């Protein structure tokens, strides 16, 4: 293994206080089985799966509650055995604060598994494997929750990159998972390499995780095709495209996907869940969650999906009135409701600290100091984006300043001496632009439709004229003469009648 | 928007911190200035900055802006400081106040306040005074040597109230001014006087501006691009002229060490609002300010041309930025 290979440092980034030690003092903890689990049905990017259980059903641990309905969809499982108590829209951990369909599971304390089938990786076709994965509930557990079977449906991958950067302050779930579930983690890597026939893997890990690094070093010693690259702790090195650049020096623009460059990226927790599914048949029914921030005993928990987050916060020494951020302090959002269950996307629950509450918020004018430019990892001009977003010059934003290349990492807001909530301005501009292009699309369709109608009317008129002309042409000369004679006779007869009447 | 919108954490940095760090970096040069020219400059600063803050507050009130946070941002404080140290301390008080009025009210608030002013406020005030009162503005008190007694001569502190006009005899022209006169009279410069026998007040102050500027670079308040490009530009262009005709054009070192070269390089053109935001743009801006300064000093009607050069180049900032936009990640 070679760890001295070049690291390609990306432009910008920030070095905020990590606050990682507070949640890594103790091993990953498990809560006693909760009485009730609130399991949101859709926990992934894509189509809402189809609920196949009804109220009153007894379900087993790992049983499918909802089946994927399309390719871009994933299954949702029961996290323990029990009874389906309710199926209704409830609060979910989402920034919109809107409710979504959930299954309330009354646990029976038996924690009884369905019969689990491990997958014989040597004797299964890739398409069969992907179909099974679609029903495994495996999605990107780094927070994006993109269904993993789609990411595996490719065969041109030369490098697998493992995102073990965990660059957001406070979050330590991947760090702890790598330390305690090292074998599953490495199995996951080997399985993906095997499935996609990938010759080389690079694990990108920030240098603030010495225990995980030494653990991996000992496990990977002798492994020739898995390389550990230790990168400096700079936020946002865990952003997919920044990480790819760090590892390989390849810069991938917004509109391109890593697979087009022969690269696929998986997160630590996702790899572990893939290994658990293939080696043991276990679907995704739990995940490691960092519960940290303004709490007396911050910790990592292996929590069942659907565990009410208040139980985690209480166990970590918090109280129900605390404001909680889901995710890290840079990109996480404040939970609109705290009566929600753990989801696959929930890597961290961060109890808001006094420092965050007292964050200066008086927005001052931009003085063009370009501190934001110095830290923007997408190499954008945040002050120009702000200026044009504020003045609603959307065309300039998209064409000249590449607004949609913004990854909303928040570095610009973090350093802004004028306290401008820059990310919020960009989100606003993005949604306005999407809205505009949608309505202009509708207008385009309407215009096309009208143009087609005019064209159709014109065509019908022409066709009618042609038909008439054709009919006229088809009439023979003799017939014509006959017709004329008949008409003449009719006219004469009429004239005669008129003359008679006059007399 | 709530204060908990992402990101939830923020670096402890504000406009006030930036502005007052710059003021802090100006203090060594101020001490030198007092040592050479007397305590009057300190009195000028007290009176002038108070007046500038009052103007700022009135403008904010008239424009319906919250007074406290904007007054605290330190921009009016810094603008006033820069203007006051740029003009001779013997300047009559009302002249100084006219300059401050143009700096704060006309060049800043009339254009939309902090962040919106296309021209450097301190330089607008300075240019107005230089054009309107050229005699006063070019007559600096004579400063033969650094005198520690200057710090104790409190009678000087508010002498601007007693001497409402410049008294002949206690003033002398700056080195740049003498050169201008010599050039005008057609005298060969080498015979007129020698410059490097000992460091004069302006040269000492230049060194202190350099020190203050380096401090700002270490504190990451400014980047190297503007100061280095301006200094190298003045050095290069005056070097070329001196090579062409050493009898008429002064050597590079003279141009660097006299006049406002270092003050401008580290404290004037680094005003973020009125200078380009792109790195290449900063370099172009610095080089052009340097070129125009050398042209004005050697061929123009004023002994030092930095103020005019800065204002002139401020006009081009949007254009410079347009043509120096860097490539976005992945589009190189």
The answer to whether A289 touches A172, Cβ cutoff 8 Å, is no
The pTM of this model reads: 0.85
How many Å is the Cα radius of gyration of chain A?
A: 32
Residues B227-250 have pLDDT tens digits of 999 999 999 999 999 999 888 788
Distance CA A288, CA A173 (A): 6
Cβ atoms B141, B171 nearer than 8 A: yes
> Could you give the count of Cα atoms lying within 13 Å of A253 in the half-sphere of its Cβ?
8
User: How far is it between the farthest Cα atoms of chain A?
Assistant: 129
Spatial distance between the Cα atoms of A52 and B64, rounded to a whole number of angstroms = 61
Q: Inter-chain contact A251–B70, Cβ cutoff 8 Å?
A: no
- The pLDDT of residue A1 is 35
Interatomic CA distance for residues A65 and A80, integer angstroms? 11
Round to whole Å and give the CA distance between A414 and A335: 20
- How is residue B18 written in tokens? 């930036």
Residues A404, A256 contacting (CB under 8 angstroms): no
What single DSSP character describes residue B161?
G
Shortest Cα–Cα distance, A220 to chain B (Å):
32
Closest chain A residue to B70, measured at CA = A364
CA angle A269, A272, A278 (to 5 degrees): 140
CA distance to A386, B51, B136, B161, B233, per residue, from B277 (Å)? 14, 31, 35, 42, 19
Model pLDDT, residue A425: 93
Task: Render each residue's pLDDT in chain B as its tens digit; 332 residues.
Answer: 344 578 999 998 899 999 999 999 999 999 999 888 888 899 999 999 999 999 999 999 999 999 998 999 999 999 999 999 999 888 889 999 999 999 999 999 999 999 999 999 999 999 999 999 988 887 777 777 777 777 777 777 777 666 544 444 455 667 777 777 766 666 655 544 455 555 678 888 999 999 999 999 999 999 999 999 999 999 999 999 999 988 878 888 888 888 889 999 999 999 999 999 999 999 999 999 999 999 998 888 787 889 999 999 999 999 999 999 999 998 88
Which pLDDT score is estimated for A70? 85
**What pLDDT, on the 0 to 100 scale, is given for residue A71?**
85
Q: How far does A40 lie from chain B, in Å, by closest CA?
A: 24
Backbone φ and ψ for A485, nearest 5 degrees, come out as -60, -45
Look at A333 and B332 and tell me if their CB atoms are within 8 Å.
no
Q: How many CB atoms lie within 10 A of CB A307?
A: 27
Pick the residue of A15, A248, A336, A417 with the most B CBs within 10 A to test the interface with B by mutation: A417
Q: How many Å is the Cα radius of gyration of chain B?
A: 20
Task: Write down the pLDDT at residue B309.
Answer: 95
Q: Which helix (H) or strand (E) holds A445?
A: helix A422-474
Task: Identify the pLDDT of residue A236.
Answer: 93
- The secondary structure of chain B in percent helix, strand, coil, rounded to multiples of 5, reads 65, 0, 35
Q: Tally C-beta pairs within 8 A across A and B.
A: 136
Name which of B1, B15, B331 is nearest A418 (Cβ-Cβ).
B15
Residues of A in contact with B73 (CB under 8 A): 364
For residue A284, the model assigns a pLDDT of 94
Q: How far apart are the C-alpha atoms of A328 and A356, rounded to whole Å?
A: 12
Return the SS3 of B172.
strand
Asked if B7 has any chain A CB less than 8 Å from its own CB, the reply is yes
Q: Which residues of chain A have pLDDT under 50?
A: 1-4
- CB of B331 less than 8 A from some CB of A: yes
Residue B166, pLDDT score: 45
The first and second tokens of residue B81, run together, are 């400081």
- Pick from B9, B17, B113: which is nearest to A365 by CB? B113
Q: Quick check: B232 and B291 in contact, CB under 8 A?
A: no
Tell me if residue A266 falls in helix, strand or coil: strand
CB contact under 8 A, B10 and A405: no
Let me know: does A75 contact A88? Beta carbons within 8 Å.
no
Rounded to the nearest angstrom, the minimum Cα separation between B276 and chain A is 9
Partnered with residue A284 across adjacent β-strands are none
């Amino acid at each position: 293994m070679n760890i001295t290979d070049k690291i390609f440092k990306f432009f910008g980034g920030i070095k905020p206080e990590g606050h990682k030690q507070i949640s890594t003092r103790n091993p990953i903890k498990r809560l006693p089985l909760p009485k009730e689990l609130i399991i949101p049905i859709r926990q992934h990017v894509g189509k809402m799966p189809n609920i196949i259980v009804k109220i009153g059903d007894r379900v087993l641990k790992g049983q499918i509650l909802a089946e994927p309905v399309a390719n871009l969809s994933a299954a949702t499982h029961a996290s323990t055995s029990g009874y389906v108590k309710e199926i209704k829209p409830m609060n979910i951990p989402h920034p919109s604060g809107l409710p979504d369909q959930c299954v309330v599971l009354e646990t029976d304390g038996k924690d009884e598994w369905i019969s689990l089938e491990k997958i014989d990786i040597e004797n299964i076709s890739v398409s069969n494997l992907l179909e099974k994965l679609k029903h495994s509930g495996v999605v990107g557990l780094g927070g994006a929750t993109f269904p993993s079977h789609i990411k595996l449906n490719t065969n041109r991958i030369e490098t697998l990159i493992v995102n073990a950067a965990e660059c957001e302050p406070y979050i330590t779930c991947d760090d702890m998972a790598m330390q305690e579930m090292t074998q599953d983690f490495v199995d996951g890597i080997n399985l993906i390499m095997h499935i996609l026939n990938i010759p080389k893997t690079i694990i990108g890990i920030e240098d603030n995780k010495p225990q995980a690094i030494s653990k991996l070093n000992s496990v990977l010693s002798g492994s020739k095709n898995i390389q550990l690259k230790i990168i400096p702790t700079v936020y946002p090195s865990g952003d997919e495209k920044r990480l790819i650049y760090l590892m390989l020096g390849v810069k991938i623009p917004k509109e391109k996907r890593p697979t087009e460059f022969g690269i696929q990226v998986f997160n630590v927790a996702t790899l572990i869940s893939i290994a658990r599914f293939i080696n043991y048949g276990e679907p995704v029914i739990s995940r490691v969650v960092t519960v940290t921030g303004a709490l007396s005993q911050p910790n990592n928990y292996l929590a069942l999906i659907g565990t009410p987050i208040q139980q985690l916060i209480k166990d970590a020494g918090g109280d129900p009135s605390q404001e909680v951020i889901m995710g890290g302090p840079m990109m996480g959002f404040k939970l609109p409701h705290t009566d929600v269950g753990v989801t696959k996307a929930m890597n961290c629950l961060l109890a808001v600290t006094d420092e965050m509450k007292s964050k200066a918020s008086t927005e001052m004018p931009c003085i063009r100091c370009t501190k934001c430019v110095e830290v923007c990892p997408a190499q954008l001009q945040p002050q120009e984006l702000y200026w044009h977003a504020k003045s609603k010059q959307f065309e300039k934003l998209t064409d000249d300043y590449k607004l949609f290349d913004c990854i909303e990492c928040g570095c610009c807001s973090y350093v802004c001496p004028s306290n401008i909530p820059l990310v919020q301005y960009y989100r606003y501009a993005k949604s306005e632009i999407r809205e505009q292009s949608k309505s202009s699309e509708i207008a385009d369709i309407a215009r096309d439709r009208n143009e087609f109608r005019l064209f159709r009317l014109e065509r019908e008129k022409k066709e009618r004229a042609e038909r008439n002309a054709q009919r006229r042409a088809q009439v023979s000369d003799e017939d014509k003469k006959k017709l004329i004679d008949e008409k003449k006779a009719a006219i004469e007869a009429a004239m005669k009648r008129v003359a008679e009447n006059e007399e | 928007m709530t204060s908990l919108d992402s990101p939830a954490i923020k670096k402890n940095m504000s406009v006030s911190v930036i502005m007052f760090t710059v003021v802090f970096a100006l203090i060594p040069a101020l001490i030198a200035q007092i040592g050479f020219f007397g305590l009057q400059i300190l009195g000028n600063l007290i009176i002038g900055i108070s007046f500038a803050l009052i103007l700022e507050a009135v403008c904010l009130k008239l424009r319906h802006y919250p007074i406290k946070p904007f007054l605290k941002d330190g921009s009016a404080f810094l603008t006033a400081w820069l203007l006051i140290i740029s003009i001779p301390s013997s300047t009559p008080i009302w002249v100084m106040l006219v300059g401050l009025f143009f700096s704060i009210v006309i060049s800043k608030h009339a254009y939309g306040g902090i962040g919106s002013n296309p021209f450097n406020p301190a330089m607008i005030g300075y240019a107005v005074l230089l054009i309107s009162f050229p005699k006063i503005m070019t007559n600096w008190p004579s400063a033969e040597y650094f005198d520690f007694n200057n710090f104790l001569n409190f009678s000087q502190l508010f002498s601007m109230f007693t001497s409402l006009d410049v008294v002949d005899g206690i003033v002398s022209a700056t080195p740049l001014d003498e050169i201008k006169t010599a050039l005008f009279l057609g005298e060969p410069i080498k015979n007129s006087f020698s410059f490097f026998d000992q460091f004069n007040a302006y040269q000492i102050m230049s060194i202190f501006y350099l020190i203050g500027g380096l401090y700002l670079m270490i504190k990451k308040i400014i980047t190297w691009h503007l100061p280095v490009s301006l200094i190298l530009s003045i050095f290069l262009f005056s070097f070329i002229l001196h090579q062409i005709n050493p009898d008429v054009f002064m050597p590079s070192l003279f141009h660097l060490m006299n006049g406002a070269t270092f003050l401008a390089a580290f404290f004037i053109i680094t005003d973020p609002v009125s200078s380009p935001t792109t790195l290449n743009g900063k370099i172009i801006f610095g080089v052009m300010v340097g070129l125009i300064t050398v042209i004005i000093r050697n061929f123009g009607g004023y002994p030092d041309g930095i103020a005019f050069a800065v204002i002139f180049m401020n006009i081009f900032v949007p254009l410079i930025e347009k043509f120096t936009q860097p490539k976005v990640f992945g589009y190189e």
